[in-house]
Structure 1
Amino acid sequence: MSVNRSLLIGGDEVPAAGGRTTEDLNPHTGHVLAEVAAASPADVTRAVDAADAAFPGWSTTAPTQRRRVLSRAADLLEERAADAAALMAGETGGTLGWSMFNVGLAATILREAAAATTLPVGEVLAGDNPDALSLAVRQPAGVVAAFAPWNAPLILGARAVAAPLATGNTVVVKASEEAPLTCALFIADVLRDAGLPPGVLNVLTNDPADAARTAETLIADPRVRRVNFTGSTKVGRRIGELAARHLTPAVLELGGKNSILVLDDADLEYAVDAVAFGAYLNSGQICMSADRVLVDRTLADEFAARLAEKAKALPGGDPTDPHTVIGPLINAQAARRVAGLVDDAAEAGARVLSGGGAPDGAHYPATVLAGVTPDMRIHTEEIFGPVCTVLPVDGEDEAVAVANDSPYGLTAGIVTRDVTRGLGVARRLRTGIAHVNDQSVDDDPTAPFGGVGDSGYGRFGGRAGVEAFTDLRWITLQQRPKQFPF
């Protein structure tokens, strides 16, 4: 049985102009999970109106009150964990383990944002004028346009709004068309119940055909002073162009072609377990997922055989079954795209060691490829599915060169028994993130999270999140009258 949800504007649940709606589908069953409002440009303007009207009050609210709201929201999210996990499974096909991880990390993001509300907001500068007090002060930027994606909907939905709200901004969220309930409306419900005032957070849902127009209208509004986008590089490039046109600062966390480097001294069993986790968590639909495993040639054949055996044993199917590891992709089209990458590589000479074949609706098995060459699409394109490629390399220099031979630069893992050696390799990688003796998937709200190159720019987490959504101003207080030359 499907549910109906409206837009959230100014604290009220309101229908879209003209009463338009769009369907939200369950990727495992293909059935309609919900009917949600399909916003028009007029609705976008209404949402910005509400956020702009709420800004003066929220931006001057005591930091301790903002902290109270965000902390309470974290508690409520954990209390509603079972509901959140069920919703996420129905809307995105997330397995139970992945969904509960989303709940836990999203709650931590909210708590870290709460802690950031009382960080120092400026400093006294030494200055060159002994008669003036010179201050560098951070202030809320204004209305933030946030774009919440579907693949880690609770984590990335919370990240879309937490730091902006903590620093005194108001927010208009454009929800993903694939997960409007989990990535935006559920988070908004929790924050509202935690005491967030009306209009501080507004949610737009839209029909997929209207996505570009909705984004363009939102970013073009002169009252929007920050853009916060997480999603694909293709869409992120367009979002960045729109923001630049209006001189609006943006934080863009985009795609990745992430590598795990398995050095010649690696514990092979540990490396296989680490890679399987990094490649197949959430069916590989994470910006940090391991697409390429660069294995020292002396270990490559045995590593590939062991990884293939592990991949074959991973249970797939219904995401509501607690034993399922490989759930569906977000839709059948995504599964066909992934299958096409594998099929093209196999036709060009790559060896399918496990998985492969035709997708079953939105389902595709955990897949391992060997014999991949640079001329194959799968070598350079982000896979975003449960597939990884094993590439033999001759030593760590070649491993670093292959890892860096990509326009993306989000994250990487290095597996070695020598952490000092691993640190040296990590420093040579052109990625925003690198994990020594670990795989590529990790997140910590206290750390500066983000990539370089085609993986975007700007950082979330810790002090970086505060800086991203505030304006740094210089204010002086002249304590004694100045002497002017004329």
Structure 2
Amino acid sequence: MFVNGQWISAFGWFPVRSPATGEIIAELPSAGIEEAMLAADAASAAFQTWRQTTAHHRCALLRAWYNAVIEHTEGIARTITMEMGKPIQEARGEVVYAASFIDWFAEEGRRVGGESMPSQHGDKRLATLQQPVGPVYAITPWNFPAAMITRKLAPALAVGCTAIVKPPVQAPLTALYFAKLWEDVGGPPGTLQVITTADPRTVSQVMFDDPRIRKLTFTGSTEVGKRLYEQSAKTLKRMSLELGGHAPFIIFEDADLDAAVDEVVACKFRNAGQTCVCTNRIYVHRSIASQFAEKLAVAVNRLQVGDPLLESTRIGPLVDEHARDKALSHIADAVAQGARIIAGGVRMEGFYVQPTVLQDVTATMLIMQEETFGPVAPLITFDSEAEVVAAANASPYGLAAYLWTRNLTRAQLVAEALEYGMIGVNDGAPSTAQAPFGGNKDSGLGREGGHWGLQEYLDVKFISTKLERCTLES
């Protein structure tokens, strides 16, 4: 693991397995209390220097990091594919997406400033500064092992924070790759650290208890996010929580069916459905439900399942046994309650799940209550705008929602009525570096991306200066 500019070991080790083959592809040191404390000490010490460097210097390093990531696109992509099963073409896309956050914040970080405001007193001058919040602890997920690092670390580093990354046990190698590139371009020791561990609770507890760690940023499940929120309360850390989703995709009767199918496939089956913003509920107007279902089934049956390192593969394995079993249980529960399988549904070897489309899905089914995180698309019919908006909002989650219509008025009004942090109108993949990413309700707190992403790592300081005199001397 990478601590204070050094590659260090630990007492214990854990294996990293390919979900495609089950083979061990690496063994990594498992950090405990000692390594976590070393990282916290280094982040705290480095912060005192890093915060004093100029924005120009910090962002020049980010620019060099960006160039290094682009240069290593193929190596990073293959690492992603091998450790978590993402098809190689998608993995390359993730590297470019990840690099876009470094690119954006390498520029945006130069624009952090303060404000001045008029005082009601002639002898006072009022102003604000924005300063880095402090050392950051980032817990990143396995489904986007590159992009979730840069979306968190690029803004943090740009404004003068130091960062400790704890990657997931399923996919820690990509994080180490990014740390190596940061080291190669001259990133100072302690500014970016990666601690790998098979005991995340022990490591995280050190960070929660340490008042010097001023910020927690986490992407993962709502259940875990709420626990982290509670554990961080005693040191009142700043929080960014990007949690679970249960995204609706609403297809209105005026939809271009072929275009709508393309967007649904792109949204639902990217990364085999293992994204927090992929649609989990597809609402189709009753008048076009049969046509849409037929076209979607044809498109889904064309998706190539197989070895994620092959260029032709579009659906790779799920990340582990638990993920596979959850997807299969959602299919079985829906069928038991009357749903029909119109595409896929056949159990496969290993951690693979055939991309599946379910018709005649009802609100009582498990797939309508839980985030599937697998390649299963449930279809639900509706009759009116009011009905479908109410159904879409009847969820504790509020991360992303989508709709397809040619009616501009409908698009605007439905987008305003949906209780979600991000809305895609005729767009199944709206996320981009310059826009805010995040949700409402049980989907989390804070935003990543754009200038909103910078604010998550900044404290505002107000300075009131009283002058000795109010006018110029003659």
| TM, length-normalised to structure 2 | 0.97
Q: CA deviation at 1:462?
A: 1.6
Q: Which runs of 4+ in 1 moved over 6 A?
A: none
Q: Mean alpha-carbon deviation: is it higher for 427-436 or for 472-481? A: 472-481
The match for 1:362 among 343, 351, 355 is 351
- Equivalent of residue 73 in structure 1, options 40, 59, 65: 65
What letter corresponds to residue 315 of structure 1 in structure 2?
Answer: Q
* SS, match of residue 111 in structure 2: coil
Work out whether 1:52 is the aligned partner of 2:41. Answer: no
- Taking the TM superposition and a 5 Å limit, the aligned residue runs for 1:108-257 are 108-182=100-174, 184-207=175-198, 210-257=199-246
The answer as to 2:275 corresponding to 1:274 is no
Aligned to 2:322: 333
Q: Residue in 2 aligned with 1:474?
A: 462
> Could you list the per-position Cα deviations for residues 428-466 of structure 1 after superposition, in whole angstroms to 9, with x for gaps in the alignment?
100000011122x33111111100011101011122111
- 2:124 maps to a residue whose letter is A
Please state how far the C-alpha of 1:414 moved relative to its aligned partner: 1.0
**CA-atom RMSD in angstroms:** 1.2
State how far apart, in whole Å, the 1-side matches of 2:119 and 2:4 are: 43
Mapped pair 1:346 → 2:343: no
* Paired AA for residue 300 in structure 1: A
Is the Cα contact below 8 Å between 1:335 and 1:359 reproduced in 2?
no
Q: Is the 8 A contact 1:315 1:324 kept in 2?
A: yes
Q: Letter of the 2:377 partner, please give it.
A: C
For residues 379 and 269 of structure 2, what CA distance do their matches in structure 1 show?
Answer: 14
Residue of structure 1 in register with 2:23 after alignment: 31
* C-alpha contact (below 8 Å) 1:408/1:455 kept by paired residues: yes
The one-letter amino acid of 2:442's match is D
What aligned pairs does 1:316-465 form with structure 2 within 5 A after superposition?
Answer: 316-439=305-428, 441-465=429-453
Listed as ranges, the gaps of 5+ residues in structure 1 are 1-6
In the alignment, residue 211 of structure 1 is paired with which amino acid?
P
Q: Is contact 1:296-1:396 (8 Å) kept?
A: no
What amino acid maps onto 1:72 in structure 2?
A: A
Secondary structure, in 3 states, of the residue corresponding to 1:431?
A: coil
Q: Deviations over 1:362-381 (max 9, x none)?
A: 10011111122221111110
TM-score normalised by L of structure 1 = 0.95
Per-residue Cα deviation, 1:31-56 (whole angstroms, up to 9, x for no partner): 00111110001211110000011011
1:160 Cα deviation (Å)?
Answer: 2.5
Q: Shift of the alpha carbon at 1:245?
A: 3.1
Among 4, 8, 18, the residue aligned to 1:10: 4
Given that residues 286 and 383 in structure 2 are in contact (C-alpha distance below 8 angstroms), is that contact kept between their aligned partners in structure 1? yes
Q: Deviations over 1:68-116 (max 9, x none)?
A: 1111111111111110111111001111221111111111100111112
Size of the aligned set, in residue pairs, is: 470
**SS of alignment partner, residue 79 of structure 2:** helix
> What is the CA-CA distance between 1:358 and the residue it aligns to?
2.4
CA distance in 2, matches of 1:213, 1:421: 50
**Shift, 1:481, TM fit:** 6.2
SS in 1 for 2:110: coil
Residue 422 of structure 1 contacts residue 437 of structure 1 at CA under 8 Å; is this kept in 2?
no
Secondary structure of residue in 2 paired with 1:442: coil
How far apart, CA to CA, are the structure 1 residues paired with 2:244 and 2:430? 15
CA contact (8 A) 1:132 1:480 kept: no
Of residues 302, 313, 318, the one that matches 2:302 is: 313
Letter in 2 for 1:91: E
Show CA shifts across 1:172-226 (max 9, x none): 11111111111x211111222122101111111101xx12222222122110101
SS at match of 1:113: helix
Q: How big is each residue's C-alpha offset from its partner over 1:242-275, in whole Å with a ceiling of 9 and x where there is no partner?
A: 1223211100001110011101111111111111
Conservation of the 8 A alpha-carbon contact between 2:347 and 2:354: no
Alignment check: 8 A CA contact 1:263 1:395 kept: no
Amino acid across the alignment from 2:19: P
* d(CA) in 2 for partners of 1:173, 1:129: 47
The SS at the match of 1:334 is: helix
